[in-house]
Amino acid sequence: MKKKFKLSNLYLVVIFIILYVPIFYLMFYSFNSGGKMYDFEGFTLDWYKELFQDSRLLIIVLNTIIIALLSAGISTVLGISGAIAIWYVRKVYAKNFLLSLNNVLIVSPDVIIGASFLILFTFVGIKLGFTSVLLSHIAFNVPIVVLMVLPKLQEMGASLIDAARDLGASRWDVLSKVVLPYITPGIFAGFFMALTYSLDDFAVTFFVTGNGFTTLSVEIYSLARRGISLNINALSTLLFVFTLLLVVGYYFITKRNARPIGLGARK
């Protein structure tokens, strides 16, 4: 038994190493005085110094975080409503139809989404920039939230709801006291996946942005033609360390204050 336990831990360790190797690779070269992502020549902090003088890049980073947080938050709310809506549909065909509509944005290549949103926004007359980028990110984040929340709803089964109804709970009570607490892990999963989608998106953002508004992905991709400078590595390192501290800190603070609010919080 003991031996088996060790083996399983080894497996997790290997997975974590693989997941983090590219990140450490990027971090390692952010200290390279040679200025490239190979041939480590010597240790330097120049890239970090350069970074702190670049207020344009700071604005871009902040824009990226704002868009990611807001779009993930709003799309989570929308996605929950969508998942519940699909869950309520009784007919199998109607349900599959709705689900297919839901998934259109996941399967459509980014350029198509980007181009069609661009046409939509210019047609409606929305000024390209913060608003258009936020709306698009919300739009392509919703389906992923739905897909994360739906299995939790399905797993819940009807008997729980029936029981609550029998005990005299109102519709709102059922939703807030029974359904939402039950699906909370799915909601957090959806939120974090939406965050991932939003932070990583390049193509859609590129098409719908304008008037000086840029996100980190767009900036990085446009730098690719001339070679990505190591201050982008330095930036990623800082963001990564910051996120890590935030995640670990948040986890232990909430852990100490009674119940966890982590991903899979259960009541």
Partner 1 sequence: MKKLIQALVALFVVSFLLIFWVDKLNSSQGYSGGNTITVYNWGGYIDPTLIDQFEEETGLTVIYETFDSNEAAMTKIQQGGTSYDVAVPSEYAIEQMVEDDLLYKIDHSKIPNLKNIDERFLDLSFDPGNQYSIPYFWGTVGIAYNPTLLGDREFNSWNDLWADDLRNQILLVDGAREVMGFGLNSLNYSLNDTNKDHLQEAKEKLEDLQPNIKGIVGDEISMLLANGEAAIGVVWSGVAADIMWENEALEYVVPEEGSNLWFDSMVIPKTAKNIDGAHQFINFMLNAEIAAQNTDWVGYSTPNKAAMELLPEETVTDERFYPSPELTAKLEVYENLGKEMLGYYNELYLQFKMHKK
Partner 2 sequence: METRSRNLYLIPYVLWIALFVITPILLIVYYSFIDIHGNFSLINYQKFFTPVYLKMTLSSFWYAFLITAFTLIVAYPTAFLLTKTKYKHLWLLLIIVPSWINLLLKAYAFLGIFGTFGFANAMLEVFGIGTKQILFTDFSFIFVSVYIFIPFMILPIFNALDKLNPTFVDASRDLGASGWTTFWKVIVPLTIDGVKSGCQVVFIPALSLFMLTRLIAGNRVITLGTAVEQHFLVTQDWGMGSTIAVFLVIIMAVIMFFTGNRKRGL
Positions in 24-43 near partner 2 (CB under 8 A): 25-26, 37-38
**Binding partner selected for residue 46 from partner 1, partner 2, none, CB under the kind-specific 5 to 8 Å limit:** none
What, of partner 2, partner 1, none, does residue 26 touch, CB below 5 to 8 Å by kind?
partner 2
Q: How would DSSP label each residue in the chain?
A: -HHHHHHHHHHHHHHHHHHHHHHHHHHHHTTBTTSSSSS---B--HHHHHHHT-HHHHHHHHHHHHHHHHHHHHHHHHHHHHHHHHHH---HHHHHHHHHHHHHHHHS-HHHHHHHHHHHHHHHTPPTTHHHHHHHHHHHHHHHHHHHHHHHHHHH-HHHHHHHHHTT--HHHIIIIIIHHHHHHHHHHHHHHHHHHHHH--HHHHHH--TT---HHHHHHHHGGG---HHHHHHHHHHHHHHHHHHHHHHHHHHHSSS--STT---
- Residues 157 to 176: which contact partner 2 by CB under 8 A? 158, 161, 171
Which of 192, 210, 229, 238 forms a contact with partner 2 (CB under 8 A)? 192
What is the contact surface with partner 1 in residues (CB under 8 A)?
A: 35-39, 55-56, 58-59, 62-63, 65-66, 69-70, 73, 77, 115, 118-119, 121-122, 127-129, 132, 176-177, 180-181, 184, 187, 206-207, 210-212, 214, 218-219, 221-227, 229, 261, 265
Rounded to the nearest 10 degrees, what angle do helices 230-256 and 2-29 cross at? 140
* 49 contact choice in partner 2, partner 1, none (CB below 5 to 8 Å, kind-dependent): none
Burial profile 95-127: b = 16 or more Cβ within 10 angstroms, e = fewer: eeebbeebeebeeeebeebbeebbeebeeeeee
Q: Does 92 bind partner 2 (CB under 8 A)?
A: yes
In the window 47-66, what residues touch partner 2 (CB under 8 A)?
Answer: none
Choose, by CB under 8 A, the member of 33, 52, 243, 259 that binds partner 2: 243
Residues 201-220 that bind partner 2 (CB under 8 A): 202, 216-217, 220
User: Out of partner 2, partner 1, none, which partner does residue 50 contact, by CB within 5 to 8 A per kind?
Assistant: none
Query: How near is the Cβ of 158 to partner 1 at its closest, in Å?
Result: 20
127 binding partner 2? (CB under 8 A): no
Q: Which entry of partner 1, partner 2, none binds 78, CB below 5 to 8 A by partner kind?
A: partner 2
The tokens of 89 are what?
Answer: 């549909």
- Part of the chain binding partner 2 (CB under 8 A), chosen from 48-56, 126-134, 147-155: 147-155
Q: Indicate whether 88 belongs to the interface with partner 2 (CB under 8 A).
A: yes
Least Å distance, CB 159 to partner 2, is 10
